[in-house]
Homo-oligomer: A and B are copies of this chain.
Amino acid sequence: MPMRELAFQDQGSVHHCHGCGAANDKGLRLKSYWDGDEAVAKWQAEPHHCGGTRENLNGGIIASLIDCHSLNLAIARAYRAEQRPIGSPPRIGYVTGNLNISYIKPTPLHETIELRARVEKLEGRKVWVSCTLSAAGEVRARGEVLGVRVEWK
């Protein structure tokens, strides 16, 4: 069995972010990986991540996961385009310009969440990423994320 590559976040795409920073022990610690030209992630909620009912995942957490997963793909893609390892200097950062989430059906809290994102369009500093969030084999939410490349310190 081949050794799995490190997640984007564990290679240094981001550090402290509440949604996906490996160094944030009170955050969601999402881990995103390449799957061809797309990015995939799996994530498991805890009971306090519930929404209006205790059985379903909170919509704000869904937005967080889609936002972080999509921007991590944008960052990873930019490093790949420059044929550099993720996190290598000079650092590449993206910030969210717009986040549009459609909630299709409730997301059960106790199922494993699966995210899949792909780059739809690139234009100068801007990138448009689409992302689905699935659980128990069904798409529960779809997101469109506009990311803007920034100089990162």
Contact = CB atoms under 8 A, between A and B. Distances in A.
Contacts of A101: 63, 96, 98-100
Interface string A28-63: 100000000000000000001111111000111101
A50 B103 contact: no
Contact of A64 (B16, B26, B27, B60): B60
Given A52-B152, A67-B63, A152-B52, A18 B99 contact: no
Nearest to A152: B52
A21 to B, nearest CB: 8
A14 B60 CA distance: 15
A141 B20 CA distance: 21
